Amino acid sequence: QVQLVESGGGLVQPGGSLRLSCAASGSIFRFNVMGWYRQAPGKQRELVASITQDGGTNYADSVKGRSIISRDNAKNTVYLQMNSLRPEDTAVYYCNVQDGVLPGTYIRDYWGQGTQVTVSS
């Protein structure tokens, strides 16, 4: 069983930066994607960014150019550096890991408990 523990959320002023971290405990299959989703009040959960085991990345248009996702495979940890934060970035941010035994085919799906990010002056 894989458990995800997030950290790094908080209150930040518009234009500020935050770095989210998510550490995965347990064994992750070789082929995997680690990512961050967010859910604002009254809205659906949406992908923010993801990164595969070999470093392939994907970003939501709303955060492109302002965020960088990275990972440390030795530590099973994924990071999300968010810059130039805006009030509309306010949401609960969830870490997600999907993995499997074949390339691009994920059979397990794990979620963290979420961390609140609030962008306000």
What tokens does 23 get? 């550490």
Q: What is the identity of the amino acid at 23?
A: A
The confidence score (pLDDT) of residue 1 equals 85
- Quote the CA–CA distance of 52 and 38 in Å, as a whole number: 18
The confidence score (pLDDT) of residue 46 equals 98
The confidence score (pLDDT) of residue 104 equals 84
Q: What angle do CA 20, 57, 38 make, to 5 degrees?
A: 45
Closest CA to 20 of 80, 98, 95, 106: 80
The confidence score (pLDDT) of residue 22 equals 98
Strands 3-7, 18-25: pairing kind:
antiparallel
The confidence score (pLDDT) of residue 24 equals 96
The confidence score (pLDDT) of residue 90 equals 98
Torsion of CA 20, 99, 56, 95, to 10 degrees: -20
Residues in the chain with pLDDT < 50? none
The confidence score (pLDDT) of residue 15 equals 98
